């Protein structure tokens, strides 16, 4: 490939001066047209075959449509034609047939959708073939043949836990059995479209033996979950794209969250808005910054808050820790009683009028100014930087979908990628971001969804809702005879 492309680069110069000599160079390459459209009538005689590759190629075909991506390249005379087909029991199904104009296309990506049932494939094996040819007179070609399995069998998913009793803003755990081809995706699916992923029980505790077909999902119940309208079910998909769903028993109690008026002052606007306005501009250049404190405060409280949430979700998704690093209960990151409560609705009032609203998705803890903040549990730092309304922010991933956030820090002692122990210092409280006074904003999230952190500080809740449930599936350890 390398020698061919360096020859290509020298092509125009060579052709103009030496085209009559092309016949002798023909074993290497040839040219039939030049820039400007004038054909020299020379045949392409290069012998370099095109290349073809799949990216990615699913393990096999299942009952639902699969996407295949084929990349074809020819850096010599260019792509001539490409055909992709599936053959089974002597019948061939063309998936794609494409021809290219002479000398034009060096690379193409074919995105193919295969609906195995619609084209009449049967379970067993099919032959997947790609043939790519170039424009050389030799019609150099590349052929890829793959024996490709077809399996329409759905995986089995069965709930093991008898009943889940949860509350909005809380977390529940369901254990289920999965049998079938390797699972690529599975957990609790909500009617709102979220899939709260699952992990094998061994990821919860590798020191105990669990049946290897058992999985658990810690699923959040968002504060605005409506038991009357929203539903949950188990949903799994295997590596061939075969899926199954199953209901499980749960009861979700509703709860109302308080509304709180936040009195805004000129002093607060003067102190906070200039700095936050700059962050708003940086986060979203499309947002119109007006220069008016009240309107820009609204932009910060709503627009910057939304932009910050996207950053948090990205940090949590980047390289999530599957195995559980945390061990319950969590500890208070700051020795103080919570002030503002989880999911309270905030109405921001200035000179008697409401100017903005938000929802407070954590608890606030305040002690002395610049108090030491510790990690609530063992984990890995996935974010340690300044972030909009959060100010100095540390996010710790505790594994198995659980994470904690520490906001408004005046100083940060850890960096992204650090492993932290429970009780290890993360930084000090402050007034950074959208904070009126020195305090810590503390959140716990499950699968990215904020939940009431106080439950996680409660040893009994952890035991009853999580540890005890999972422990009941551990294999009986032989009793040591003394």
- Give the interface with Zn ion as residue ranges (CB under 5 A): 364, 441
**Closer CB to Zn ion, 451 or 462, in the complex:** 451
**Closer CB to Zn ion, 237 or 441, in the complex:** 441
Cis ω before 56 (30° cut-off from 0): yes
**Closer CB to Zn ion, 293 or 364, in the complex:** 364
* Least distance CB 393 / Zn ion (angstroms): 12
Place of tokens 């699923």: 219
By the 10 Å C-beta count (0-12 exposed, 13-18 middle, 19+ buried), 379 is classed as buried
The residue number whose beta carbon is nearest to Zn ion equals 441
8 A C-beta contact, residue 257 and residue 344:
yes
**Closer CB to Zn ion, 174 or 304, in the complex:** 304
8 A C-beta contact, residue 100 and residue 78:
yes
The Cα–Cα gap between 348 and 430 comes to 21
* Least distance CB 465 / Zn ion (angstroms): 25
* Least distance CB 399 / Zn ion (angstroms): 25
**Closer CB to Zn ion, 324 or 439, in the complex:** 439
Q: Strand 402-412 relative to strand 440-446: parallel, antiparallel, unpaired?
A: antiparallel
Q: What is the CA angle 232-245-203, rounded to 5? A: 80
* Least distance CB 390 / Zn ion (angstroms): 9
* Least distance CB 345 / Zn ion (angstroms): 13
In 3D space, the residue among 437, 313, 420 whose CA is nearest the CA of residue 376 turns out to be: 420
**Closer CB to Zn ion, 364 or 438, in the complex:** 364
Local structure of residue 339 (DSSP, 8 states): -
**Closer CB to Zn ion, 445 or 469, in the complex:** 445
Cis ω before 184 (30° cut-off from 0): no
* Least distance CB 259 / Zn ion (angstroms): 16
The Cα–Cα gap between 124 and 477 comes to 42
**Closer CB to Zn ion, 305 or 441, in the complex:** 441
Rounded to an integer, what is the distance from CA 243 to the centroid of its chain? 20
* Least distance CB 180 / Zn ion (angstroms): 44
**Closer CB to Zn ion, 116 or 391, in the complex:** 391
* Least distance CB 307 / Zn ion (angstroms): 18
* Least distance CB 374 / Zn ion (angstroms): 18
| H-only helix segments in 226-304 | 266-283, 293-298
**Closer CB to Zn ion, 296 or 364, in the complex:** 364
**Closer CB to Zn ion, 443 or 467, in the complex:** 443
The SS3 call for residue 360 is strand
* Least distance CB 411 / Zn ion (angstroms): 18
* Least distance CB 324 / Zn ion (angstroms): 27
């Amino acid at each position: 490939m390398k020698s061919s492309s360096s020859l290509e680069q020298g092509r125009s110069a060579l052709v103009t001066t030496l085209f009559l000599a092309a016949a002798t160079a023909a074993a290497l390459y040839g040219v039939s047209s030049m820039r400007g459209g004038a054909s020299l009538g020379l045949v392409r005689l290069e012998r370099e075959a095109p290349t073809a590759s799949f990216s990615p190629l699913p393990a096999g075909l299942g009952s639902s449509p699969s996407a295949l991506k084929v990349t074809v390249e020819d850096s010599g005379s260019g792509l001539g034609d490409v055909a992709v087909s599936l053959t089974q029991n002597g019948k061939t199904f063309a998936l794609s047939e494409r021809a290219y104009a002479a000398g034009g296309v060096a690379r193409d990506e074919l995105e193919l959708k295969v609906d195995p049932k619609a084209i009449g494939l049967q379970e067993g094996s099919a032959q997947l073939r790609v043939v790519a040819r170039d424009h050389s007179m030799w019609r150099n070609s590349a052929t890829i043949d793959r024996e490709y399995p077809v399996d329409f069998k759905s995986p089995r998913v069965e709930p093991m836990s008898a009943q889940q009793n949860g509350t909005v803003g809380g977390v529940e755990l369901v254990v289920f059995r999965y049998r079938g081809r390797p699972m690529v995706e599975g957990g609790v699916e909500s009617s709102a479209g979220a899939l709260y992923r699952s992990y094998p029980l061994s990821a919860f505790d590798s020191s105990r033996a669990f049946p290897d077909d058992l999985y658990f999902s810690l699923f959040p119940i968002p504060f605005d979950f409506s038991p009357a309208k929203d539903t949950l079910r188990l949903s799994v998909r295997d590596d061939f794209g075969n899926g199954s769903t199953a209901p499980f028993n749960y009861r979700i109690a509703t709860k109302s969250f308080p509304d709180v008026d936040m009195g805004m002052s000129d002093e607060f606007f003067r102190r906070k808005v200039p700095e936050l306005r700059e962050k708003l501009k940086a986060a979203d250049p499309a947002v119109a910054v007006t220069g008016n404190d009240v309107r820009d405060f609204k932009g910060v409280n709503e627009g910057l808050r939304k932009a910050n949430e996207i950053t948090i979700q990205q940090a949590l998704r980047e390289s999530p820790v599957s195995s559980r690093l945390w061990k319950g209960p969590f500890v208070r990151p700051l020795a103080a009683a919570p002030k503002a409560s989880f999911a309270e609705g905030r109405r921001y009032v200035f000179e008697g009028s409401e100017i903005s609203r938000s929802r407070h998705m954590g608890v606030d803890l305040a002690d002395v100014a610049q108090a030491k903040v510790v990690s609530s549990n063992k984990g890995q730092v996935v974010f340690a930087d300044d972030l909009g309304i959060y100010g100095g922010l540390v996010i710790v991933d505790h594994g198995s979908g659980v994470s904690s956030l520490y906001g408004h820090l005046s100083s940060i002692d850890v960096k992204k990628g650090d492993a932290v122990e429970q009780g290890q210092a993360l930084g000090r409280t402050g007034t950074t971001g959208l904070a009126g006074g020195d305090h810590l904003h503390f959140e716990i999230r499950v699968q990215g969804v904020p939940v009431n952190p106080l439950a996680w500080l409660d040893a009994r809740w952890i035991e009853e809702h999580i540890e005890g449930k999972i422990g009941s599936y551990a294999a009986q350890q032989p009793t040591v005879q003394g």
